[in-house]
Chain A
Amino acid sequence: MTEPAAKAVEVVELGKNYGPVTALKSVSFSIESGRYYALLGPSGGGKTTLLRLIGGFLRPSAGRIFLHGHDVSHLPPNRRPTSMVFQNYALFPHMTVERNVAYGLKLLRVPASDIRDRVDRMLAMVGLVGYNRRMPHELSGGQQQRVQLARSLVLERDILLLDEPLASLDAKLRKDMCLELKRIQEKVGITFIHVTHNQEEALTVADRIAIIADGELVEEGSARDVYETPNKRFTAEFIGDNNVLEGTVSDVSATGATLDIGFAKIEVPAPAASISTGERAAFSIRSELLRIAGRDEDIGASWQVVPARYVEDVYLGLTVSHLVQLPDGTEVVARVMSDSGDNGRFEPGDDVAVGWPANRARLHVA
């Protein structure tokens, strides 16, 4: 465990109970050094608990935590190579921006001239040049979070923990701050672990994403994999706008499987997990891959096509969602760019066909 190439974070069968409440069941995963890692999941899933365990603010009920190969399970937060950025209200309200950032260094007895240099460099890094003498209540929410970031980064610890750092910012600012965070992480090159329940935020900042729900790690992978080829049905339902249909496996071949969904048999590429005939399973397909056409139109050779009835369209700004109903009553959504000519072709009640590229569907064992 102590070889030099050790992972920045390695968590082994980590569990946490709050009295009778199990917040984290038994989670194992690792994060490579220098990654921007997001913990994404629904509210109450245990993300904060996991982050606080890594940071040392909570004691694990079970399992161990290794940071750079060292078991830190018993160490307090300041003795770990981590630093935490909190959601909100975490600046010292009676200190100026400068003193807030400098305070940690002062505790480490860094010489005053060094402190000034490092504080100024950090404030420049987070884009707050000239804010040295401001008090926290004279800053906007976004600026306060930047100060918190500077206060953590100035310590030069190897792992930065961020618990919903952007949750109290408005949508526009959140987007800007996401890009800013990513830029800063690339510049300092340390490991960032960022907790959020906002998938857009996670996809923007992170190299890798772990989906945390119900106290368990559902799935872990690169941002692109998690979005485009989720293994778990939960991930497909949580990230992006996916259509999920259930059925029974009727045939398994070397390259894929056939799923009987009642009114049609669907070809799906080979799943990650091994499956057998007769099993219940589901497949998912992203709504932006679906295309709606007339019944007798030819959508494409390698496309999977099923009959449907057109229900309605919903304008969402960038995209328009077209709702269609399959023969068994389930509704699926096809998303089309608003400026595409495919909008407005059908009236509610029209008989249509809906199709998708057969190789883009993913099979999920239920």
Chain B
Amino acid sequence: MTDRGRDIPAPPARWKRLVGEDGIQKWVFYIPVVFFILFFAAPMALTVVWSVFERTQFWMEPGFTLFAYENFFTSARAENYVLSMLHAAAAVVISFVIGFPIAVFIRRRVTRAAQHRVILLFILPFMISELVRVFAMRPVLGRNGVVNSVLMELGILSEPITVILYSPLGVIIGDVMSFLPFMIFAGFLALEAVQNYIFEVCDDLGTGRVRLFADIVLPLAAPGIFAGSVFIFVNSMGVALVPTLLGGPGAVNAGLIANQAIVALDFPLAMAISTIMIFTLVLLLYIGHRLFDLTKILEPIS
């Protein structure tokens, strides 16, 4: 290195001071920090700040008022918000019940070479516009939809069931359909890190299916399940499209409440709702941490 350095003219002094001997490498480390501040911390801080600004006719002006929060908590919005959390939680639970066994199946029963191809299949739906994907649920779940006609043809139903569309249940079904792959990916990735030896040791010890799942698979996949759950929860609360298309009159989630505020040009209210969402999530993470010790769950498993 020193040999080659001799032929290269020395860089100008000022450039040298800024970059230093190993300066480039040093600065590269800060790029993620800059990213974090620019695209993550700053917008969040602005959201909080703007939520206490005064509302004007078309925008807002600096000031301090808790009017937006008062508006939120004294209207039906607060109640809808809580309902939205419950629906999101239901979507998480259903996604786990359906998605995690799929992840386990792919890891344990599909040959190694085919595993990633199978996982890729679950990405395919994401190639379709979310709008189209969610909209396509309507002819499936509707009064004369696929589900009802099949069940009636089979004689299982005499009347079409109507609670599965334009209802809270419809929203939950839509959320599960939209976000289920996240549980499959996250669960599979966590399980992929588990050595095959581990399963062979279980065969050797005679761990039955139930114990294998409860004692080995579930704890080892916990970080993945947790990541998938957070993702599904946040999306179920925040993606306005699903209740708009599948929820029917009055169905909202947190994202749709914020959307409606923006449409009404009430920006401080939209910001307040977003702020409440941020704090809700932080609070849930904190509770999760106290209950399960997340650092332990997320600790690198070596």
Contacts and interface: CB of A to CB of B under 8 A. Distances in A.
A52 B208 CA distance: 20
A56 B206 CA distance: 12
A83 B204 contact: yes
Given A84-B200, A92-B198, A136-B302, A107 B207 contact: yes
Contacts of B195: 89-90
A94 B220 contact: yes
**Count class of interface residues, chain B:** 10 to 19
Given A88-B197, A103-B205, 20 more contacts: A56-B203, A57-B200, A57-B203, A77-B200, A77-B204, A78-B204, A79-B206, A82-B204, A84-B201, A89-B195, A89-B197, A89-B198, A90-B197, A93-B302, A104-B205, A107-B205, A107-B208, A108-B206, A137-B301, A137-B302
A346 interface: no
Contacts of A270: none
A262 interface: no
Interface residues of A, number: 27
A361 to B, nearest CB: 45
Nearest to A99: B215
B219 interface: yes
B44 interface: no
A155 interface: yes
Interface string B190-216: 000001011011011111100100011
B197 A93 contact: no
B205 to A, nearest CB: 4
Contacts of A93: 198, 220, 301-302
Contact of B203 (A76, A88, A136): A76
B197 A94 contact: no
A155 B207 CA distance: 13
A77 B208 CA distance: 12
Contacts of A104: 205-206
Given A89-B195, A90-B195, A136-B302, A155 B205 contact: yes
A41 interface: no
Contacts of B216: 92
A55 interface: yes
A176 to B, nearest CB: 23
B65 to A, nearest CB: 50
